[in-house]
């Protein structure tokens, strides 16, 4: 008994044994409860498919044993003789540990909500998924910022108001040093909020085109038609002219056909009718106009406008091919010939008195003669 009454660091050994027993007992108790509750709620979730059970099981699984160990130390040391400084630091560590645990749970809740939403709306549009991911990022950022500020506020000797003021002054210097990164960060927020495009959209930027795969904090990644991944800085994207074909309700198509100058007047009058019938015979196509546009260098030109009632490029090409084949067939039936590049040159003799000689006409195909 005298050994237990021996003083060690200001407290008898029996108090140290009690403190150690309380700490270890609390740690073991929480570990056992964590395992039992996690298994039970996971089993209930598999049987009932109830999201509440899944949420509780996830929160139990996210209990940090490091945090529990810090709390166990503070609990065990409650009966020991401690200086004011040590007691202050133990209390501060306990509060910070609780803040860390709450932050872990908050991050888990955000991830759980995003996964449940994605599973619930499997066919959700790219716009909705982009918005949800952005909200998840903002939520995590706010959660982490609040947790850091609360933790700093509980550290002895740290005045958070002075720290925030110092961060404000230093933030100006940091912002100047990383202004390109910040520009891309704010550009990503602008893309998410303004939604010029979302994941899954087919866009064209200058001479580059592809489908949007990922919108990040600094870059946006696009899968091109040839298969490679194109990576753009977000700030560069907002400075560019972007053509978004995913949001196109219908496609306006303009094409020109040229026929020979030898085409008769009756045949010229028939051509707009042939083109109109070829377009109106196609599904998902709306005829607009077809006119004898003008006299070209080597052809009589007809301009036609129609609309494809859908944004799909393959649909447009299928319709255009069918129209071209039908026009070609009808032109063959009516004896109308397509024009080809020609140049007519008039030659005069050098003898001004030669009245019998008229101009010679030379036609060259594909080049000047």
* Three-state SS at 288: strand
Nearest CA among 288, 289, 284, 292 for reference residue 319: 284
CATH number for the domain running over 251-342: 3.30.70.100
Predicted confidence (pLDDT) at residue 366 exceeds the cutoff of 50: no
Per-residue pLDDT tens digits for 148-171: 888 877 777 666 666 666 666 556
| For range 86-93, the mean pLDDT | 72
Q: What is residue 252's predicted lDDT score, i.e. its pLDDT? A: 92
Predicted confidence (pLDDT) at residue 356 exceeds the cutoff of 50: no
Lowest mean pLDDT among 88-92, 125-129, 304-308, 351-355: 351-355
Predicted confidence (pLDDT) at residue 182 exceeds the cutoff of 50: yes
Whether 99 and 151 have beta carbons less than 8 Å apart is answered as yes
Question: Would you give the distance in Å from CA 108 to the centre of its chain?
Answer: 23
| For range 296-313, the mean pLDDT | 91
Q: What is residue 163's predicted lDDT score, i.e. its pLDDT? A: 61
Nearest CA among 198, 188, 211, 201 for reference residue 129: 198
Which residue has better confidence, 126 or 111? 111
Q: What is residue 197's predicted lDDT score, i.e. its pLDDT? A: 86
| Upper half-sphere CA count for residue 76 (Cβ side, 13 Å) | 20
Q: What is residue 304's predicted lDDT score, i.e. its pLDDT? A: 96
The pairing of beta strand 285-295 with beta strand 208-215: unpaired
Q: Which residues contact 51 (CB under 8 A, 6 or more apart)?
A: 45, 116
Q: What is residue 253's predicted lDDT score, i.e. its pLDDT? A: 94
Predicted confidence (pLDDT) at residue 180 exceeds the cutoff of 80: no
Mean pLDDT across the chain, nearest whole number? 78
Most confident range, picked from 18-27, 163-172, 236-245, 249-258: 249-258
Predicted confidence (pLDDT) at residue 363 exceeds the cutoff of 50: no
Nearest CA among 135, 113, 132 for reference residue 124: 132
Q: Is 41 exposed, middle or buried (0-12, 13-18, 19+ CB in 10 A)?
A: buried
* pTM for the structure as a whole: 0.48
Q: What is residue 367's predicted lDDT score, i.e. its pLDDT? A: 38
Q: What is residue 87's predicted lDDT score, i.e. its pLDDT? A: 64
d(CA 181, CA 24): 48
Q: Does CATH place domain 180-244 in 1.10.3720.10?
A: no
């Amino acid at each position: 008994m005298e050994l237990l009454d021996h003083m060690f660091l200001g407290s008898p050994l029996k108090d140290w044994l009690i403190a150690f027993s309380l700490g270890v007992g609390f740690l073991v108790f929480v570990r056992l409860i964590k395992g039992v509750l996690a298994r039970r709620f996971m089993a209930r979730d598999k049987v009932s498919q109830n999201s509440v059970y899944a949420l509780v099981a996830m929160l139990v699984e996210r209990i940090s044993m490091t945090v529990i160990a810090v709390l166990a130390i503070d609990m065990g040391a409650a009966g020991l003789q401690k200086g004011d400084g040590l007691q202050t630091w133990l209390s501060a560590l306990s509060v910070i540990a609780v803040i860390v645990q709450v932050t872990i749970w908050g991050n888990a809740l955000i991830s759980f909500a995003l996964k449940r939403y994605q599973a619930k709306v499997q066919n959700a549009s790219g716009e909705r998924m982009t918005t949800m991911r952005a909200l998840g990022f903002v939520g995590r950022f706010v959660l982490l910022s609040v947790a850091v500020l609360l933790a700093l506020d509980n550290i002895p000797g740290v005045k958070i108001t002075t720290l925030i003021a110092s961060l404000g002054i230093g933030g100006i210097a940091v912002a100047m040093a990383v202004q390109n990164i910040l520009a891309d960060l704010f550009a990503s927020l602008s893309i998410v909020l303004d939604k010029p495009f979302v994941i899954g959209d087919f866009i064209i930027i200058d001479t580059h085109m592809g489908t949007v795969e990922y919108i990040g904090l600094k870059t946006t990644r696009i899968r091109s038609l040839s298969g490679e991944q194109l990576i753009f800085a977000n700030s560069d994207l907002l400075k560019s002219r972007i053509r978004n074909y995913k949001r196109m309700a219908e496609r306006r198509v303009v094409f020109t056909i040229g026929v020979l100058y030898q085409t008769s007047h009756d045949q010229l009058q028939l051509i707009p009718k042939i083109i109109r019938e070829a377009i109106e015979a196609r599904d998902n196509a709306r005829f607009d106009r077809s006119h004898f546009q003008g006299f070209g260098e080597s052809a009589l030109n007809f301009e036609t406008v129609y609309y494809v009632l859908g944004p799909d490029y393959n649909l447009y090409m299928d319709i255009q091919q069918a129209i071209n084949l039908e026009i070609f067939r009808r032109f063959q039936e009516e004896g109308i010939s397509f024009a080809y590049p020609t140049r007519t040159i008039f030659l005069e003799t050098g003898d001004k008195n030669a009245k019998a000689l008229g101009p010679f006409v030379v036609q060259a195909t594909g080049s000047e003669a």
